[in-house]
Chain A
Amino acid sequence: MKLTDREENGVIILEPNGKIMGGPDASLLHDKLYEFIDQDKKKVVVDLSGVDWMNSTGLGILISSYTTLRNNGGKLKLANVTEKIRSLLVITKLEPVFESYDTIADAVKSFDE
């Protein structure tokens, strides 16, 4: 998994690319998140358009990122969730937990509401 990040209207957009499989991916994402939390940037959108597959550990990473942000008074939202991952979220019934949006713009905008 590769991870890039950018900022848009005070919202951090994380763009993982490839498969989220756990192992080094977990620490990569967590380190990034803590970096932003330290800078008091706690509105995060994860753009999943580049993630074609996620195993159970990968989902675990996403969940813990979500809780980390929430426990620090922030919020993690999803954008561009692929079909494969959506079905995973459906089966695990986590769809209502993660707010997910069709586009990044929608996700960013939702923080203003």
Chain B
Amino acid sequence: MTFELIQSILYFLAGGFLIFLAVTIARDNLNNRLNRTFGAALLFAGIGPLCMAFGLLIDPATALVVNFKGSTTYNLHYIWEFFFPLLLLFSWIFPEDRLKKFKYSRIRYFIFIPQLMHLIILLFGINFITFLNSMQISSGAEGFSALILKPFSMLIGIMTLFIGFIINSHALIFSTFNIFFILVTIYFLESGKKLVSNPRIITQTKVINWAIRSSLGTYIVATIGSALFPTYFTETISSLLIIAAVLSGTSLLVYVTLRYQFLDVRLAFRQSFVYSITSAFFVGLYVVLFLQTQEFFVPIFGEKANIINYVIIGLLLLLFQPINNWIDEFTRSIFMRTQTDHRNVIERFSRQVISLFDPIKLRQIIEETLKTTLLVEHIYFVLYDDILNEYVLYLNREHTQKIVLSRDDILLRGINQLDSPTFYQSLGDYTQNSDLANELEAYQIKIILPMKDSEHLLGFLALTSKAAGYNYSAEDLNLLGVLSNQMVSALTNARLYVDSLERMRLQEEVSMAREIQLNLLPSSPPLHPCMEISAHSTPSRTIGGDFYDFVYKDKHNLGICIADASGKGMPAALMIAQTQAILKSEVNNGTPIDMMLRNMNKQLVESSSSEKYVTLFYGELNTEKGYFHFSNAGHNYPLLVRANGDKELLKTGGPIIGALPDMSYQSETVKLFKDDTLFFFTDGLSEAMNEQEVEYSEERIHEFVTINKTKAPGELIDSILKDVRVHDTTYPPRDDTTIVSIKIRNGFANG
């Protein structure tokens, strides 16, 4: 007696657990075919043990004394075998819904035939044989029915034998069917696995397949074993083994299915558990209420007032519905499944992207996140390309295949107005006459996820359906909305980072150019016993458009040059580098000064546009005789201050070089004496402006140099720079500033 009780409790627990799993699965989303199929499979798997349990509990006497095996309750438990065709159906839906593509999908109902036959034969087979036997007996008599039936007596005999055989060895026959079903299931799961690319789903399928295989092993031992060796495998042991197989296999199946559909499987279980318990409590309460009220009504309406019972049942059902909903909401609010799970995903996502500045890598993480958490099958990116100034649809991960979208595309404009994730279908009219729509429809896009900063659409994601045919839920759309905000900030960060990298690279290039430019300037002015030379150059930006140079044309002729290219920065620097190179080669060729400037002008006109030009002063100082032979190509007049304070401006020359072709240049010679000061400068010095927009001016330079003519060149330069900086405090100066100063210390040997 006690053993039967324990056994029935075990059956009861197993059945209850399986039905609980069925409820959990179905409750997640009943609209989903996968949920329906798998939920039904579990329900049938649970009914079997429950029937066994009830059979033992309700009628323990029958179970012990009379042959429980033959009872209807016992035979009814074979209903659990529908688990097998439903599992097969599951393998057609998971991991890829192949029924959708299958033309004759209705054929699926036929797979239930063997199990249905089994049940019918077990429930009605004995009765049928009895019926047939009665026919056989009556066939001995003469009569109308016997006349008709006589030719079939042989057939009836065979049928009786056949059905009898099936009844006797039904366990072996239908177990074979069931094993065959499982083998086919394994085959379909394997072939389905090859159709999916999502690594996570492949792993899930693998686990499910192994769960089924291990259960299959136990099932074979239990069924075939008990059929072949009934002495060792008693009915009890075999059914317990089957339950163990079904329980272990289905639990694993449920776990992976939930795990991969839900974000947090423990919560789903807990929630379902609370739901089931509370529901059971309320059902119990209603049953009690129903019984109580029945007793209350019977004396009034009499024993046979069944109609009253139905009214009460109807009322109770009506009442149950809102309470049912209330329980649902209550359990949800307790476990906050949505928020917790989504918060995890969002936190993980932002952690991953916060330190990520590579846009390609960022897109990969977005893809990874959406594929693993929402099981999106494919994701297509449309992003605004800063260089093309257009939106671009990227077809693959590496961004090698892409389609540039037309700005006027009606769908693109429609998406521009979206603020949240939207079902593609709901875009309606926007998808008419749109190339983008044709493209997206070819990929069976289901969801459009716009990525918008405060004003601009940075791009959008186009998501295909979820893996295994799951539908997007409202929760999914919420999650997508939050993720898209994260993506926007991550994309913006990545873009800013790329910009700053680009700036850094440019900065580095400019610094290198600056170094090259500094190397082009003389490292120190030449030393000569007769004179003292000093030079200074400050660019207004990192690199400048001024230069000065000292080149010995021959032993006694020192070439001195100061020049200023129009404009500033890199273009001016390039112009200057070119001018300097031409100058050096002309000086080395020994070209006369006027010809030299003519040649330089010609070469620069040929190699630059006319708005780019150089003002240049070039002079040759004969260190033997003290002659200074020069030509001024549109440069600020250098100043010559004699020892007595007389000033001369070195004007003679011609127009600026590099602007206009066929210019000619004059040259002039002045003689230099002891204590003369030569002062060359660029307009950065003379045009230095104070706050009132007053220039420092050439006049002030002349005055300053004249007053400070006794100073050594280096000192003179320092002091005038100081004076200019008092006038114009901007530093670095607004314009490139270059100064060369020469002081004749001793008279020239042959002067």
Question: Hey, which bits of chain A sit against chain B, CB under 8 A?
Answer: 22, 26, 55-57, 59-61, 63-64, 66-68, 91-94, 96-97
Name B653's closest neighbour in chain A (CB-CB).
A93
Please pick, from B567, B633, B660, B735, the residue contacting A63 in the complex, using a CB distance under 8 A.
B660
A60 touches B566 (CB 8 A): yes
Measured CA separation A17–B612 after assembly (Å): 22
Closest 4 CB pairs of A and B: A60-B611, A92-B634, A64-B611, A56-B566
Between-chain CB contacts (< 8 Å), 23 pairs: A55-B735, A56-B564, A56-B566, A57-B611, A60-B566, A60-B612, A60-B659, A61-B611, A63-B610, A63-B613, A63-B659, A63-B660, A64-B609, A66-B660, A67-B659, A68-B610, A91-B615, A91-B636, A91-B637, A92-B615, A93-B633, A93-B654, A97-B660
Instruction: Specify which chain B residues have a CB less than 8 angstroms from the CB of A93 in the assembled complex.
Output: 632-634, 653-656
Contact status of A22 and B567, CB under 8 A, knowing A63-B611, A67-B610, A92-B615: yes
B567 touches A67 (CB 8 A): no
A56 touches B683 (CB 8 A): yes
Instruction: Specify which chain A residues have a CB less than 8 angstroms from the CB of B567 in the assembled complex.
Output: 22, 56-57, 60
B611 touches A26 (CB 8 A): yes
Name A64's closest neighbour in chain B (CB-CB).
B611
Measured CA separation A73–B642 after assembly (Å): 49
Name B661's closest neighbour in chain A (CB-CB).
A67
Measured CA separation A26–B633 after assembly (Å): 24
Instruction: Specify which chain B residues have a CB less than 8 angstroms from the CB of A55 in the assembled complex.
Output: 735
Interface class of chain A by DSSP: helix
State how many angstroms separate the Cβ of A60 from the closest Cβ of chain B.
3
Instruction: Specify which chain A residues have a CB less than 8 angstroms from the CB of B683 in the assembled complex.
Output: 56
Contact status of A64 and B634, CB under 8 A, knowing A57-B566, A92-B655, A94-B656: no
Measured CA separation A92–B613 after assembly (Å): 10
Q: Tally inter-chain residue pairs, CB-CB below 8 A.
A: 58
Name B635's closest neighbour in chain A (CB-CB).
A91
State how many angstroms separate the Cβ of B382 from the closest Cβ of chain A.
34
B637 touches A59 (CB 8 A): no
Within 8 A of A (CB), among B615-664: 615, 632-637, 653-656, 659-660
B609 touches A92 (CB 8 A): no
Instruction: Specify which chain B residues have a CB less than 8 angstroms from the CB of A26 in the assembled complex.
Output: 611
State how many angstroms separate the Cβ of A44 from the closest Cβ of chain B.
16
B613 touches A60 (CB 8 A): yes
Instruction: Specify which chain B residues have a CB less than 8 angstroms from the CB of A64 in the assembled complex.
Output: 609-611, 659
Instruction: Specify which chain A residues have a CB less than 8 angstroms from the CB of B637 in the assembled complex.
Output: 91
Please pick, from A59, A67, A91, the residue contacting B566 in the complex, using a CB distance under 8 A.
A59
Instruction: Specify which chain B residues have a CB less than 8 angstroms from the CB of A22 in the assembled complex.
Output: 567
Instruction: Specify which chain B residues have a CB less than 8 angstroms from the CB of A66 in the assembled complex.
Output: 610, 660
State how many angstroms separate the Cβ of A84 from the closest Cβ of chain B.
9
Within 8 A of A (CB), among B585-623: 609-613, 615
Name A84's closest neighbour in chain B (CB-CB).
B695
State how many angstroms separate the Cβ of B693 from the closest Cβ of chain A.
9
Measured CA separation A66–B660 after assembly (Å): 10
Type the 1/0 row for B653-684, where 1 means its CB is closer than 8 Å to any CB of A: 11110011000000000000000000000010
Instruction: Specify which chain A residues have a CB less than 8 angstroms from the CB of B653 in the assembled complex.
Output: 93
State how many angstroms separate the Cβ of B634 from the closest Cβ of chain A.
4
Measured CA separation A61–B659 after assembly (Å): 10
Name B637's closest neighbour in chain A (CB-CB).
A91
Instruction: Specify which chain B residues have a CB less than 8 angstroms from the CB of A57 in the assembled complex.
Output: 566-567, 611
Instruction: Specify which chain B residues have a CB less than 8 angstroms from the CB of A94 in the assembled complex.
Output: 634, 655-656
Instruction: Specify which chain A residues have a CB less than 8 angstroms from the CB of B632 in the assembled complex.
Output: 93
Instruction: Specify which chain B residues have a CB less than 8 angstroms from the CB of A67 in the assembled complex.
Output: 610, 659-660
Measured CA separation A63–B609 after assembly (Å): 10
Name B687's closest neighbour in chain A (CB-CB).
A55
State how many angstroms separate the Cβ of B637 from the closest Cβ of chain A.
7
Measured CA separation A66–B609 after assembly (Å): 12
State how many angstroms separate the Cβ of B393 from the closest Cβ of chain A.
34
Measured CA separation A97–B660 after assembly (Å): 9
State how many angstroms separate the Cβ of A89 from the closest Cβ of chain B.
10
State how many angstroms separate the Cβ of B264 from the closest Cβ of chain A.
59
Known A67-B660, A93-B632; further 18 A-B contacts with Cβ < 8 A: A26-B611, A55-B735, A56-B566, A56-B615, A59-B566, A60-B566, A60-B610, A60-B613, A60-B659, A61-B611, A63-B611, A64-B610, A64-B659, A66-B660, A67-B659, A91-B615, A91-B636, A94-B656
Measured CA separation A36–B610 after assembly (Å): 20
Of A56, A68, A92, A93, most buried by chain B (CB within 10 Å of CB) is A56
State how many angstroms separate the Cβ of B256 from the closest Cβ of chain A.
65
Please pick, from B611, B612, B656, B735, the residue contacting A92 in the complex, using a CB distance under 8 A.
B656
State how many angstroms separate the Cβ of A20 from the closest Cβ of chain B.
11
Measured CA separation A55–B689 after assembly (Å): 13
State how many angstroms separate the Cβ of B572 from the closest Cβ of chain A.
9
Measured CA separation A56–B611 after assembly (Å): 9
Instruction: Specify which chain B residues have a CB less than 8 angstroms from the CB of A61 in the assembled complex.
Output: 611
Measured CA separation A60–B735 after assembly (Å): 16
Measured CA separation A64–B654 after assembly (Å): 18
